[in-house]
């Protein structure tokens, strides 16, 4: 229990040292990783079942060569693609926002440094160090969150494309084999 309290105090001190922008980066990161976990669980649990149901629906068709059958196949592939790509654009946007929020933290921290220099001159090094801390911590946090988020998002995007391609291959245009 004591370790948890100490960890929470460390996180709080980190956020106080980084300023308000660090809270925004933290909130953005929590949303980003929630979506990453949601997509991972979707690809592992419900997506395979959804693909199997649609393949069974397709295999139940007796006619697969007409224009209508090809259009139905295209519609089924589009349906699976939409399910696979559901929140990936939002996830990409959240990853792209991380370094931008870090840059915003840099700017606000440097404004604080210049404000201290304007008020006290260059003699108040403690206040200048606080401003520099508010400038560098959000930059570091934004870049760190973006790097890990980019890695995870890229893996999810590759997995989605691969699964849709495998699904399209499962929807064959050949007629089902008939028992003799």
CA dist., res. 46 & res. 93, Å (int): 24
CB atoms within 10 A of CB 73: 17
CA dist., res. 56 & res. 102, Å (int): 48
DSSP string, 73-96: HHHHHHHHHHHHTTTHHHHHHHHH
Model-level pTM? Answer: 0.82
Six-digit token string for 178: 């008939």
Six-digit token string for 142: 């934004």
pLDDT at 17: 78
Q: Which 3 state secondary structure label does DSSP give 173?
A: coil
Rounded to the nearest 5°, which phi and psi values hold at 115?
A: -65, -40
Q: What is the pLDDT along the chain (180 residues), one digit of tens a residue?
A: 888 899 888 888 877 777 888 899 999 999 999 999 999 999 999 999 999 999 999 999 888 889 999 999 999 999 999 999 999 999 999 999 999 999 999 998 888 888 878 887 777 777 777 778 788 889 999 999 999 999 999 999 999 999 999 999 998 876 555 444
């Amino acid at each position: 229990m004591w370790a948890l309290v100490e960890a929470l105090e460390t996180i709080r001190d980190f956020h106080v040292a980084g300023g308000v922008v660090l809270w925004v980066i933290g909130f953005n990161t929590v949303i980003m990783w929630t979506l990453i976990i949601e997509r991972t669980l979707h690809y592992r649990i419900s997506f395979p079942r959804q693909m199997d149901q649609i393949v069974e629906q397709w295999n139940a068709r007796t006619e697969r060569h007409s224009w209508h059958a090809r259009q139905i196949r295209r519609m089924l592939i589009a349906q699976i693609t939409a399910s696979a790509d559901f929140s990936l654009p939002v996830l990409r946007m959240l990853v792209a926002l991380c370094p931008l929020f870090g840059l915003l933290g840099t700017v606000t921290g440097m404004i604080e440094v210049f404000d201290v220099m304007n008020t006290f001159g260059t003699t108040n090094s403690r206040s200048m160090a606080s401003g520099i801390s508010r400038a560098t911590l959000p930059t570091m946090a934004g870049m760190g969150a973006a790097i890990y988020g980019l890695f995870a998002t890229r893996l999810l995007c590759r997995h989605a494309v691969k699964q849709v391609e495998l699904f399209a291959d499962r929807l064959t245009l050949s007629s089902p084999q008939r028992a003799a």
